[in-house]
Amino acid sequence: MSIDNIWTAGGIVSIPLLCFSLIATALIVERVVFWGRIMRKQRRVVKEALSLYRADPFSAVAKLKQNAQLPIVRIFLEALELETPTPDEFRLALDSATQAEIPTLRRFGTWFQTIIAVSPLLGLLGTILGLIRSFASIELGNAAATNSAGVTGGLSEALVSTVMGLVVAIFTLLFANAFKGLYLRELALIQEYGGQLELLYRRFHQGVREYAPYK
């Protein structure tokens, strides 16, 4: 059966399922590009910035500004660009910036969950509509008058719509779970590197206080 015949055999529910499949594909491509860019550059940039910060905090900030498209870099810059913050203020800035980046990291999560939940229900609706069509074509007690084309067409609609709904939901679920795993991993990395940056800043802040001239 060709693709055109499959969508035709799926009945009326094939239209929203086709829309869901196109939307899911577009969102998945966007998330793959987003996470690919982060995973490719993030560790190297952050490690270099932390290494620079030990010797020259201003060079570290300049390095981070060159890669401001990365969420973890924007988080670090929110804290580093504060004017002489205390360690507690520095930590609060990191936490606030992290919360501000979470919607970007979890973007399209609601769309994915909606497609995953609704697609099987649309498939079930197509199954019911197909069975209704089949039963409507059956003439009880008069087999000769039974519309065999209507019966087979209804059964085909019932089966195809179910398969379509499950395929769209499973396809989206696999990628949604993968993106959720990347999100959780990113949060762990932000906490790890953020803790290292906070420790370096506390040492730097303590050193500045120890060597500051008395007034």
Per-residue pLDDT of the chain (215 residues; tens, 9 = 90+): 444 555 566 678 888 999 999 999 999 999 999 999 998 889 899 999 998 888 888 888 898 999 989 999 999 999 888 888 888 888 999 999 999 999 999 999 999 999 999 999 998 888 888 877 776 666 555 544 455 555 566 677 778 888 889 999 999 999 999 999 999 999 999 999 999 998 988 887 665 444 344 33
Predicted confidence at residue 152, as pLDDT, reads 65
Block residue for tokens 């913050």: 85
Token pair recorded at residue 93: 């800035």
Q: Can you read off the two tokens belonging to residue 73? A: 């870099």
User: How many structural domains compose the chain?
Assistant: 1
Nearest Cα neighbor of 96 from 194, 208, 212 is: 194
**Under a CB-based contact definition with an 8 Å cutoff, are residues 81 and 58 in contact?**
no
Tell me how far apart the alpha carbons of residues 167 and 135 are, in angstroms, rounded to a whole number: 26
Instruction: Output the CA angle 162-122-159, nearest 5 degrees.
Output: 20
pLDDT at position 12 is: 82
Residue 214 gets which letter from DSSP? P
* Residue spans of alpha helices (H) in 56-139: 57-65, 71-80, 87-105, 109-136
Rounded to the nearest angstrom, the gap between the alpha carbon of residue 180 and the centroid of all alpha carbons in its chain is 6
Long-range contacts of 86-95 (CB under 8 A, 24+ apart): 86/205, 87/198, 87/201, 87/202, 87/205, 90/198, 90/201, 90/202, 90/205, 91/198, 94/194, 94/197, 94/198
Q: DSSP secondary-structure letter at 85?
A: -
In this structure, what token pair is assigned to residue 31? 């998330």
Domain range for 83 is 3-211
CA distance 3 to 128: 22
Radius of gyration of the chain (CA): 28
Tell me the two tokens of residue 53. 């910060």
What is the identity of the amino acid at 176? A
